[in-house]
Amino acid sequence: MFTGIITDIGIVRSLHQEGDLRARIGARYDMQSVDLGASIASDGVCLTVVAKGSDWYEVQVSAETVSKTNLGDWAEGRRVNLERALRLGDELGGHIVSGHVDGVAEVVALTDEGDSTRIRFRVSDTLAGFIAPKGSVALNGTSLTVNEVEGAEFGVNLIPHTKQVTNWGDVALGDRINIEVDTLARYVARLREWERR
């Protein structure tokens, strides 16, 4: 489990296809405190640490994960939002995030509003029903509040602090962004589906 509060920006150092995609990510974490097998959300995707060094860790990414996320777009040098798994007693500053990405959202508009940036996204019709105004959504692992929803499009605002401590300062039109809908919305939808049977 994660909170959607980004704690580091990693750098993709290498990518190798070995059956699964293997990625090495540079990080500022104290790697002595990161166990092999630990989970680190990387651009919102819960990935397992399979190797590590003094300032990096490696993960294996299955074809299923590549097909459902933007990890297939990764290239060496890309900046990646990182969050270590939630520990008992940690502050829950965002919302409950599982790291199980539901799909990708496309950036369709960027507008500066004062010091903030309003970003508009388009998602599939399947995901659109899970997104509600003033609800929470995880985008590239960042817990954000939805401003408005119009059909399959929705918007969020990014304050300067968020752009500075995440990779959101790099966002551009057309970018594919990992999206995880709110867990509560997912279970409410499943319950309603079950009740209709």
Rounded to an integer, what distance in angstroms lies between the CA atom of residue 195 and that of residue 2?
30
Please tell me the distance from the alpha carbon of residue 19 to that of residue 63, in angstroms, as a whole number. 9
Encode pLDDT of 66-85 as tens digits.
999 999 999 999 999 999 99
Place of tokens 């408005």: 148
pTM to 2 decimal places: 0.92
Cβ–Cβ under 8 Å, residues 92 and 127: no
Torsions phi, psi for 56 (to 5 deg): -155, 165
Instruction: Give the pLDDT score at 26.
Output: 98
| pLDDT digits 0-9 by tens, 74-119 | 999 999 999 999 877 677 777 888 999 999 999 999 999 999 999 9
For residue 141, the model assigns a pLDDT of: 96
Q: Domains (ranges, CATH) in the chain?
A: 8-84 (2.40.30.20), 103-195 (2.40.30.20)
